[in-house]
Amino acid sequence: MKKKLLSTFLLTLLGLSLFAQEQKGILDLSKKIGSATKSQMFTLQCLGEISTPTADLKWKPILARKYIALEPKVPNFEMIEEMKIEKLKQKKISNKKINQELSTQSVLPVMGTNFLGNINSGSSPMDNSIAVSNGGVIVSVANTTLEIDDISGNNLYYNDIPTFFNDPNIVNTCDPVVLYDKLTDKFIFFFQECSGNSANSYLCICFSKTNNPATGGWWKYKLTGNPLNDNSWFDYPKMAVSNNELYITGNLFYDAGGFNQAILYQIPKAAGYVGGNLNWQYWNNIPGSPFTLLPVGNGQGLSYGPGCYLVSTQSSGASTINLYDLTDDMAGSPALNYYSVSTTAYSPAANSSQLGTACLLDNGDCRTLSGFYLNGIIHFVFHSDIGNGWNGVNYNRLTVNNTTNQSVTFGLVGSFDYSYPSVSSYATSPTDKSVMIEFGRSGSSIYPEVRVVNCDNSMNWSASTLVKSSSSFVSYTNAATERWGDYSGAARKHNSPTPSVWVNGMFGTSSNKWDTWIGEIHDNAPNEITENQTTVDLKVFPNPIVETFTVEFSLFENTNVEISVFDISFKMVKVLYKGRGLKGENVFSFNKANLSPGTYFLIINNNSKTIKNEKIIIAN
């Protein structure tokens, strides 16, 4: 694999202090279309702490109520369903078929450690989510269970969520979401009460007390899901953190039926980690009529703010993206401003087939599913029609300062549907745009699968890699259509020497039900940097290095080169030379200067591409 260890990237990384806030981009206020309404500030008391005794970890016994989630009617529901029915006819008569994914780069996602995740507890879909800490603790959630593992797959905790939360008003839990807050080295776990009525609509939030909640426990809080007091209930949550705050968004539905509006909760997070009183406020009357509003945190766990960005797509399709800028923290003077961004037109696709059954998997609509912010760009994914009614991954990079969007799709028209993607940064520095995207895949010739694909800095796709295949089709109710979404899970492990992403996806069991599978994703050469044909050979001597050392390498042509030293975690230490390299043999000599004893990498870049690397050892 060709690593993106560009010196300019790492110089940028070195310029970022871990606790220095990455300032959000500056938006042109003349392009602002409107602003949302801010509520008064409220205060919420902690309900106490949750210790984490568990049942027998070997058997994972769970007693839970069977729960088949009914999708609330989205805006334009009837129109979307009619569109999908017509596109299903189009799929059946289409002669266009692509048998091989278009791969335009050399990276191939590779499975590392992988193991069974949250087992089925009678619910569909699983609504799975995952987070992983720098210390190697994994928290994975799904309807209706919470699991904590280490990165070797050893189970540390497992329980059903109502038992875990222990509140008489919390019975029907769903839509769990979990994230790791790198700045505090702790986790935040969210779920909601799913009774589907305003009288019992609650947002349940748990802050871990330590970086290992399997032993350290949690602080728990419960917010109303009917903050407008207008007989509405909360559904379809999204969650992100900034330097100082937690953001939770969702859709409000009337008890009498129908979509009300999207809502954003803004919550300073520090008190939650110590069991203190939580201040909070909400934003409503959000312009642009968003359905499923996605807040985005920093993709590498670096601090950013104040406030946060949010994006929303039109569930029924459009050629615009809604961009929102929450301009400040609650302690300041925030506004929630709305901008409209043009993009390539998108629309919902038809539902997907499964091998061995006439039961279709519901592809849902085009709502925004997953995303993050990094170095001025919002990366986000959803799925959409990529041709003749077939569903594919729709990956986007929205540049904030000039409100422009670049999108690219991935899939196999005529063969499979690619649905419910989740995106995570796979970058070697904040300026690298590489990502890993997890998704589900199904079609008439296969059972549902969990897969992952890489999209590199230049927006080139790899081929996709299988994470977990199903042993049968999925059918809970013997209906014509089975729920497939709403979520998949992907999370970056921030402190890995090379990029590492953990995923949590749904697969079908022999009993025709969903379980989840957890896996680590890296690439086909996680510790190597491949050469291109610009260089023939490289020698460093002596090695180990005592005082001075010499570098010899060959070039096929005159070209600019940069010779740099990186530490074992691929963090730049020093640029040794930046200038012209000559065709033929080149010899450079250097002094080890103040390099501490240890292992380093000597890397030669040519026009921002790594052409050679060599491990060097600095002796005592």
Q: What mean pLDDT do residues 185-189 have?
A: 97
Q: Which of 107-111, 119-123, 188-192, 256-260 has the highest mean pLDDT?
A: 188-192
SS (H, E, C) 301-368: CCCEECCEEEEECCCCCEEEEEEEEECCCCCCCCCEEEEEEEEEEECCCCCEEECCEEEEEECCCCCC
pLDDT at residue 442, as a whole number: 97
Q: How many CA atoms lie within 13 A of 47 on its CB side?
A: 17
User: pLDDT grade, residue 502 (50/70/90)?
Assistant: very high
pLDDT at residue 93, as a whole number: 73
**Is the CB of residue 430 less than 8 Å from the CB of residue 374?**
yes
Residue 238 has pLDDT above 60, yes or no: yes
Q: How many CA atoms lie within 13 A of 398 on its CB side?
A: 30
Q: How many CA atoms lie within 13 A of 170 on its CB side?
A: 25
Neighbours of 103 (CB within 10 A): 16
Q: What mean pLDDT do residues 374-379 have?
A: 95
Residue 417 has pLDDT above 90, yes or no: yes
Q: Return the structure tokens found at 153.
A: 């797959």
pLDDT at residue 234, as a whole number: 96
Domain boundaries for CATH 2.60.40.1930 within the chain: 531-618
C-alpha torsion sign, points 148, 152, 153, 157: negative
CA distances from 491 to 295, 419, 594 (A): 15, 18, 37
Q: What mean pLDDT do residues 502-519 have?
A: 93
pLDDT at residue 52, as a whole number: 75
> Shortest CA distance to 72 belongs to which of 252, 225, 310?
252
Vertex 424, ends 521 and 531: CA angle to 5°? Answer: 60
pLDDT at residue 70, as a whole number: 59
> Shortest CA distance to 334 belongs to which of 229, 237, 242?
242
Start-to-end Cα distance in the chain: 33
Residue 8 has pLDDT above 60, yes or no: no
User: pLDDT grade, residue 528 (50/70/90)?
Assistant: very low
Q: Return the structure tokens found at 579.
A: 């200038």
DSSP letter string over 429-481?
Answer: STT---EEEEEEEEETTEEEEEEEEEE-TTS-B---EEEEE-SS---SS--SE
Residue 305 has pLDDT above 70, yes or no: yes
Q: Which of 121-130, 138-147, 183-192, 429-438 has the highest mean pLDDT?
A: 183-192
- Average pLDDT score over the chain: 86
Neighbours of 93 (CB within 10 A): 8
pLDDT at residue 53, as a whole number: 67
Q: What mean pLDDT do residues 531-551 have?
A: 64
Q: Return the structure tokens found at 180.
A: 């790791």
The DSSP symbol for 29 reads: G
Residue 25 has pLDDT above 90, yes or no: no
- Lowest mean pLDDT, pick from 39-43, 116-120, 132-136: 116-120
User: pLDDT grade, residue 526 (50/70/90)?
Assistant: very low
User: pLDDT grade, residue 355 (50/70/90)?
Assistant: very high
Instruction: Work out the percent of the chain whose per-residue pLDDT is above 70.
Output: 86
Q: Which of 24-28, 63-67, 262-266, 548-552 has the highest mean pLDDT?
A: 262-266
pLDDT digits (tens, 9 = 90+) for 385-398: 999 999 999 999 99
Q: Return the structure tokens found at 431.
A: 């300026």
Q: Rounded CA gap, 179 and 188, in Å?
A: 6
pLDDT digits (tens, 9 = 90+) for 565-600: 877 656 778 777 777 676 677 777 777 677 788 887
Neighbours of 532 (CB within 10 A): 12
CA distances from 49 to 218, 490, 531 (A): 6, 28, 54
> Shortest CA distance to 341 belongs to which of 303, 317, 313, 360?
313
**This prediction's pTM:** 0.81
Q: Which residue has the tokens 């049968």?
A: 472
Residue 17 has pLDDT above 90, yes or no: no
- Lowest mean pLDDT, pick from 393-402, 416-425, 481-490: 481-490
333 CB-contact burial (10 Å; exposed 0-12 / middle 13-18 / buried 19+) = exposed
pLDDT at residue 60, as a whole number: 54
SS3 86: helix
The DSSP symbol for 81 reads: H
CATH 2.60.40.1930 fits 531-618, yes or no: yes
540 CB-contact burial (10 Å; exposed 0-12 / middle 13-18 / buried 19+) = middle
Q: Under CATH, which number does the domain 12-56+59-94+106-523 receive?
A: 2.120.10.10
Neighbours of 89 (CB within 10 A): 11
Q: Rounded CA gap, 370 and 39, in Å?
A: 27
Domain boundaries for CATH 2.120.10.10 within the chain: 12-56+59-94+106-523
pLDDT at residue 607, as a whole number: 59
415 CB-contact burial (10 Å; exposed 0-12 / middle 13-18 / buried 19+) = middle
DSSP letter string over 514-541?
Answer: EEEEEEEEEES-TT-----TTEEEEEEE
